[in-house]
Amino acid sequence: MANVNEIAAGSRYPMLVDMKDTESVTRQARSVFSVPCAASRIALLGSSPVDRVVANFTLGLQSLPCPTRFFTSRDEAMSWLLQAPLP
C-alpha cells in the first residue's frame, strides 16, 4: 500500500486487486486493508470458490476505509470501480 500511495501522489484512485492463485491472506496483510490509502474503492477479482472464501473472510474481519467488493467478472469489477465517486 505504501507503493500505491507513492504512485498516487496525494490523489485517490479506484484499485483492482487480482486474487488469482491467492490461497491465504496473512494477519499482517489483512491489517493493511484497514489502513486508509490512496484507493477510493477496491474491487477484489477472483475466479474460484476459494477466492470468494478468502475475500469474504478478509473483508468480514475488519472495518475497511473505502468501499471494497468481491467480483468474479472483470467487466463488472471495472464498471463498479469507475462509478461516480461516493459522497
Residues 6+ apart with CB under 8 A from 42: 14, 15, 16, 17, 33, 64, 66, 67, 68, 69
pLDDT at 86 (0 to 100) = 59
pLDDT digits (tens, 9 = 90+) for 57-71: 777 766 778 888 999
Query: Given this model, what pLDDT does residue 46 score?
Result: 92
For the chain, the farthest-separated pair of C-alpha atoms sits apart, in whole angstroms, at 36
pLDDT of residue 57: 76
User: Structural domain boundaries of the chain?
Assistant: 2-81
For residue 38, which amino acid is it?
A
- As a whole number of angstroms, the distance between CA 2 and CA 78 comes to 23
Indicate the residue type of 9. A
Rounded average pLDDT per 10-residue block, the chain, 87 residues: 87 89 74 81 89 79 81 95 76
Q: What is the pLDDT of residue 87?
A: 54
CATH fold label, 2-81: Ribonuclease HI; Chain A (3.40.970)
